[in-house]
Structure 1
């Protein structure tokens, strides 16, 4: 209860401070009342959803996600406005103090706020505010197909030109627009790839989240089949279960649902993909993540039935596994496919110019293709979303990778 009281007091205080900028810019009371009403509505909805609303056990269901998203947008608007106002207030205080020390005027007072600076503050604050709203309205379903051609000297000849579609982090429990998901699924199928690989986090927490989308996910197809691995959210670790048995049953139901929609779920296992007399090893590990995440992935177990010199593609949900374990493993993993980071669902990407997201502060390898020690990894930005119900600048991704035989000159 105390934390709610502190949060409400802080939120209202920030709101009153931000109101000063509006009072400086405009004299229309309707603007003030509209701002205050919107601010309180966002706060009230957030408190309601996280106290009285649906407590079914999901970390964030759809109503909670939107409540969080609107609160995040409002807080970003207030924070940036206050940054400008506070900077100006320091200047106003120092100016007033200087004039008082010099005897003009005799009584200390603040110089008036500058209307121009308040206009700049509100204008800049409106950018992240509107971007976060756009991300919830359009950005989260702004699917992008990213294509890469990756070359390997020891790629078996028959697999030259072999095409793989990778998707990751579907998070069924967050979806709220069937037509948009139908479009995304259709876009995946239109790539007409040889192989479809899903690298974890089918749900937010519970297997039941898949049920409304099961028929759509079953329409995903690829010539040589569909394979998947588990992500950290698939285990149900973020739910307070009444018993370990319920938690275990949830995981088994999720595994069965994946099989029912046609995915070959790899649980620290491997499979050979063959073309003529050539073959490549597809390896799938359970989730292994740094920083408190589940470490169920076992490379030794997963590679027990393949050979060291095989060409290997590894599916591992968390890219920290690649950095901490895979690169150091005795076997050479030519290509690793991961997800998990979502690119934080927020950032700026201009191909060839800028690639930035707060995700880089936590993950060295957070989006796209990287190469270390002659091994490659692609970190997919995710098909779905979690928490904040949107995406800004880091769009939902469908990765298409074409394997090419590198010519030796």
Structure 2
């Protein structure tokens, strides 16, 4: 860990030095140089101060969200500038050795930096800077309704055309714009689906985070087949230091009760039968099960009495559960709904052309629909945001799934 921190400090220092050199090469105006230095120093001081003020007993809050956003919007552009300027330095040094070998003493070993290269570096750095800035101001509430049809040969006839609205990863403690959240609730209601399913992470840590939003989320209309939910990894309060075990337990109980307060039926390793006419399907709701996170989910307990022939919709917050346990399970879970990844809140998605996010190197299933031997998992990109207070390219999602027989 110490070596890694030293590496980060050296990289940050080099990025700062190279960025200042780029600014100096791009303009000879002295006051611009001084303004850049003053702003950089103030930002660095604020970031260091904010991190020293982080309280492990409280966890993420508005200040820590802003600090993380400020850190990313500062460091990433500077690293791009450093990469370009380092490339120029390699060429300058290589050229210097060639001139020295050729006996050319008329030019200095290292010529001055080219203004064009510095302007190019600054231009390239403006792309992530502006993108991250947009993500923090607009992108985090750029809600998208994504529609997906899924075909099943064993879907009971009466459920042909069943529509499901799925939301996931609310993270209510991160919200700061009531108008945009109310707009998203209106979008959910406009879908007029048969059933609404929420796949976990109602808060970042504390039940109190949801209190200002209870009435807002109670506005989600209850459809004919009901509203159901499960827990996510953040709902267990395991990412902070609690003064006592009782306080942690009380918070967990309060978080579970939040679902009742917004009129969702919280499912804790159990299943229910949903009926239409004389046919039924099973809705199975698990506690969190993650390959690298809390494993409270108990698929066997939740499925007591079910057979492989029963058509099942499984709610399991973390898609790694599908990868490691569900997709080849003999119990035959036809459709799994997950969330958790947020698509890292950063990536590029152009339908039919590209779908990329760094999170794909950690999760095989990270956004959208995936299939294995006729079994499917849909990974919702998340309703809210966490850690980085924004979204770039991976927008907050309201999913509408239509199940069809075929």
The TM-score by the shorter chain falls in which range?
Answer: over 0.9
* Aligned match of 2:230: 229
Summarize deviations over 1:224-271 as a string: whole Å, max 9, x none.
Answer: 211000100100010101121211111111111211211111110001
Q: CA deviation at 1:103?
A: 2.6
* Aligned match of 2:132: 132
CA contact (8 A) 1:152 1:403 kept: yes
* Aligned match of 1:165: 165
* Aligned match of 1:263: 264
Summarize deviations over 1:42-81 as a string: whole Å, max 9, x none.
Answer: 222222222136x273432111111111111111111000
5+ long unaligned stretches in structure 2 = none
Summarize deviations over 1:99-157 as a string: whole Å, max 9, x none.
Answer: 22333218963111111111111111110111001100100000000001111111111
Deviates more, 1:20-29 or 1:55-64: 55-64
Summarize deviations over 1:305-343 as a string: whole Å, max 9, x none.
Answer: 333311100000000100100023211111100000000
Q: CA deviation at 1:161?
A: 1.2
- Partners of 2:90 and 2:4 in 1: how far apart? 29
* Aligned match of 1:156: 156
Q: CA deviation at 1:196?
A: 0.5
CA contact (8 A) 1:46 1:64 kept: no
- Partners of 1:352 and 1:9 in 2: how far apart? 41
Q: CA deviation at 1:272?
A: 0.7
Matches within 5 A, 1:5-404: 11-52=12-53, 55=55, 57-105=57-105, 109-223=109-223, 224-291=225-292, 293-404=293-404
Query: Are the structure 2 counterparts of residues 271 and 122 from structure 1 closer, same or farther at C-alpha, using a change threshold of 3 Å?
Result: same
Q: TM-score, normalised by structure 2?
A: 0.95
Query: Are the structure 2 counterparts of residues 181 and 57 from structure 1 closer, same or farther at C-alpha, using a change threshold of 3 Å?
Result: farther
- Partners of 1:205 and 1:121 in 2: how far apart? 40
Q: CA deviation at 1:5?
A: 9.6
CA contact (8 A) 1:229 1:266 kept: yes
- Partners of 1:6 and 1:378 in 2: how far apart? 38
- Partners of 1:197 and 1:42 in 2: how far apart? 42
Q: CA deviation at 1:41?
A: 2.7
Q: CA deviation at 1:14?
A: 2.5
Q: CA deviation at 1:388?
A: 0.4
CA contact (8 A) 1:345 1:391 kept: yes
Q: CA deviation at 1:189?
A: 1.1
- Partners of 1:76 and 1:289 in 2: how far apart? 30
Q: CA deviation at 1:3?
A: 9.8
Cα root mean square deviation, aligned: 2.0
CA contact (8 A) 1:95 1:111 kept: no
- Partners of 2:38 and 2:275 in 1: how far apart? 63
Aligned residues: 404
5+ long unaligned stretches in structure 1 = none
CA contact (8 A) 2:76 2:128 kept: yes
CA contact (8 A) 1:347 1:393 kept: yes
SS in 1 for 2:274: strand
Query: Are the structure 2 counterparts of residues 24 and 243 from structure 1 closer, same or farther at C-alpha, using a change threshold of 3 Å?
Result: same
- Partners of 1:196 and 1:58 in 2: how far apart? 31
Deviates more, 1:216-225 or 1:119-128: 216-225
Summarize deviations over 1:187-212 as a string: whole Å, max 9, x none.
Answer: 11111111010001111111111111
SS in 1 for 2:404: strand
SS in 2 for 1:274: strand
Q: TM-score, normalised by structure 1?
A: 0.94
